[in-house]
Chains A and B, each alone.
Chain A
Amino acid sequence: MNDIQQASVAAFELLLSGDQTTWEIISLSFSVSLSAIAIASPLALILAFFLAFFQFPLRRALIALFNTFMSVPAVVIGLTLYLLLSRSGPLGELKLLFTDKAMIIGQILLSFPLLVAMAHAAFQAADRRAWETAITLGAKPWRAFFTLMFEVRFGLIAAVVAGFGRVIAEIGCSMMVGGNILHATRNIPTAIALETSKGEFAQGIALGIMLLIMSLSLNAGVSLFQGKGELRA
């Protein structure tokens, strides 16, 4: 018990004193996950829009596929990517294994199905009249797409936040393709797992607190934003 108390005190010291290693891990985590979401989101939103608004062959199959891929475990995606990127793998030439780029690719793959599925639901809830109204008032299709995104912004933001929430906390994929290398690919979840397994709780607790604060404030932010929307709608 005493150990845990001491570790908790040490954890706060680490955070508050601006311990370099701890903050480096935190910033790597954020930069990798934010990059992944920033790259995945635009494509996922456009795809979700097409799936919701147009009829084309394989549309239903694609929707089912993304819904299924949502539940593929991170470690399986990590394993697949590992095999692709490993030196003897088909993409081994790129020398990406155990780099933060590999982690970003992994998190893109991980978040993409979730982003598509949730954004698809948001666009489906949108009113078809919104699109027709924008077009008939002279909007070009691209502009009408942005108008529509604005109309369903709450659903889309929820999708992006959920995607970010999934990748910032995932461990399986980052561990496999990142390798948890200090100063290079160690992020919050892999560091927590490693430090704890070594019996050093302070850094693990410090990083855990960060994750918790982040996810609580993200969720609070989204609820606040949505609450505002409901008041107005």
Chain B
Amino acid sequence: MSDLIDYHGIKISLSGKLILDIDHLAVKAHQCTLVTGQNGSGKTTLFKIMSGLLRPDSIQVDYQGRQMNWKQAKPVLQRDIIYLHQQPYLFDASVADNVAYGLYRRGESKNSVQKKVFQALDWANLSHLAQRHAKHLSGGEKQRVALTRARILAPSLLLLDEPTASMDNEAKQQTAYLLQRLKEEGVCVVISSHESHTVDHLADHHLCIEHGKITALEPVKQSAKVTVLNHVKNTLSHD
């Protein structure tokens, strides 16, 4: 499978401490990559750099046949990659307006935006919340609205920062279900997690990050048994 995007020589120090030092990171097209690492290992920092939100000390990006330095890559990354916060931020507006935000930024007409928003909310089973004020939603609902708001823009790559952390089991299942469908649609997703069982089974690739370094990158074949086992164990232990 070909690479969607390649990052080379990612380095960043914050407050004088080396936080990330990654030689090469390839994101495969149409695949789901799971990034695991302990608290503080650098997952969030990595995602923000990958999506063009945080400036690293050094980086080189290969994307769509172009080799780019940070300055060239930043606008491209911001345009084509969407980063979802661990706790998503919803604007002080209705759910529908939140989902519409990115489409309006692309200059789409009101008519086309409304149609797409309607369909997208339907896709996520959120139609009943369309006019609800976004600040009044539960954590799980916020996460699903944020996913919908990202998906509607058909990004090349979606970076999800611990999408199921601090959720109850039902919310986790609902989010996992949406992720499953995103994956089936061929959306390229990278998911981070420090404990993750809920989304393990979605991953085609598994990447470990320790103290800012990638320590293992393996196609899921090798780790499949373990993750599936884990998943089964967890499902069982919840019953």
Q: Do A and B come from one complex?
A: yes
Chain A contacts to B: CB under 8 angstroms: 127, 129-130, 132-140, 143, 147, 150-151, 232-233
Assembled-state Cα–Cα distance A36/B1 (Å): 62
Shortest C-beta distance, B44 to chain A (Å), equals: 11
Whether B106 lies near A130 (C-beta < 8 A) is: no
In the complex, what residue of chain A is closest to B105 when comparing beta carbons?
Answer: A138
Write out the residue numbers on chain B whose beta carbons fall within 8 Å of the beta carbon of A150. Answer: 91-92
Whether A137 lies near B53 (C-beta < 8 A) is: no
Whether A133 lies near B78 (C-beta < 8 A) is: no
Name A's interface SS. helix
Whether B53 lies near A132 (C-beta < 8 A) is: yes
Whether A147 lies near B91 (C-beta < 8 A) is: yes
Whether B83 lies near A232 (C-beta < 8 A) is: no
Assembled-state Cα–Cα distance A101/B81 (Å): 50
Assembled-state Cα–Cα distance A151/B102 (Å): 16
Whether A135 lies near B149 (C-beta < 8 A) is: no
Task: Pick the most buried of A136, A138, A233: most chain B CB atoms within 10 A of its CB.
Answer: A136
Whether B79 lies near A138 (C-beta < 8 A) is: yes
Assembled-state Cα–Cα distance A132/B102 (Å): 13
Within B109-146, the residues touching A (CB, 8 Å) are 133, 135
Chain B contacts to A: CB under 8 angstroms: 48, 51-53, 78-79, 81-83, 85, 87-89, 91-92, 101-102, 105-106, 133, 135, 149-150, 153
Whether B105 lies near A143 (C-beta < 8 A) is: yes
Write out the residue numbers on chain A whose beta carbons fall within 8 Å of the beta carbon of B53. Answer: 132, 135-136
Shortest C-beta distance, B208 to chain A (Å), equals: 25
Whether A137 lies near B85 (C-beta < 8 A) is: no
The 5 closest A-B pairs by CB, nearest first: A129-B89, A137-B102, A138-B105, A133-B89, A136-B83
29 residue pairs bridging A and B, Cβ less than 8 Å apart: A127-B89, A129-B85, A129-B87, A132-B48, A132-B53, A132-B83, A132-B85, A132-B89, A133-B89, A133-B91, A135-B78, A136-B51, A136-B53, A136-B82, A136-B83, A137-B105, A137-B150, A137-B153, A138-B78, A138-B79, A138-B102, A138-B106, A138-B153, A143-B105, A147-B91, A150-B91, A150-B92, A233-B92, A233-B135
Write out the residue numbers on chain A whose beta carbons fall within 8 Å of the beta carbon of B101. Answer: 134, 137, 139
In-complex Cβ contact of B105 among A130, A132, A139, A151 (8 A): A139
In the complex, what residue of chain B is closest to A152 when comparing beta carbons?
Answer: B92
Write out the residue numbers on chain A whose beta carbons fall within 8 Å of the beta carbon of B149. Answer: 137
Give the A-B contact count at a CB cut-off of 8 A: 54
Shortest C-beta distance, B231 to chain A (Å), equals: 30
Shortest C-beta distance, B136 to chain A (Å), equals: 8
Whether B153 lies near A232 (C-beta < 8 A) is: no
Assembled-state Cα–Cα distance A150/B92 (Å): 8
In-complex Cβ contact of A151 among B51, B82, B92 (8 A): B92
Write out the residue numbers on chain B whose beta carbons fall within 8 Å of the beta carbon of A147. Answer: 91
Assembled-state Cα–Cα distance A113/B183 (Å): 52
In the complex, what residue of chain A is closest to B54 when comparing beta carbons?
Answer: A132
Assembled-state Cα–Cα distance A183/B83 (Å): 60
Contacts A136-B82, A138-B79 hold; do A130 and B135 have CB atoms under 8 A apart? Answer: no
Shortest C-beta distance, B51 to chain A (Å), equals: 6
Shortest C-beta distance, B46 to chain A (Å), equals: 15
Assembled-state Cα–Cα distance A25/B73 (Å): 58
Write out the residue numbers on chain A whose beta carbons fall within 8 Å of the beta carbon of B89. Answer: 127, 129-130, 132-133
Write out the residue numbers on chain A whose beta carbons fall within 8 Å of the beta carbon of B52. Answer: 135-136
Assembled-state Cα–Cα distance A130/B91 (Å): 7
In the complex, what residue of chain A is closest to B159 when comparing beta carbons?
Answer: A136
In the complex, what residue of chain A is closest to B106 when comparing beta carbons?
Answer: A138
Write out the residue numbers on chain A whose beta carbons fall within 8 Å of the beta carbon of B135. Answer: 232-233
Assembled-state Cα–Cα distance A147/B105 (Å): 11
In the complex, what residue of chain B is closest to A132 when comparing beta carbons?
Answer: B53
Write out the residue numbers on chain A whose beta carbons fall within 8 Å of the beta carbon of B83. Answer: 132, 136
Write out the residue numbers on chain A whose beta carbons fall within 8 Å of the beta carbon of B105. Answer: 137-140, 143
Write out the residue numbers on chain B whose beta carbons fall within 8 Å of the beta carbon of A139. Answer: 101, 105
Write out the residue numbers on chain A whose beta carbons fall within 8 Å of the beta carbon of B102. Answer: 137-138
Whether A137 lies near B92 (C-beta < 8 A) is: no
Whether B82 lies near A137 (C-beta < 8 A) is: yes
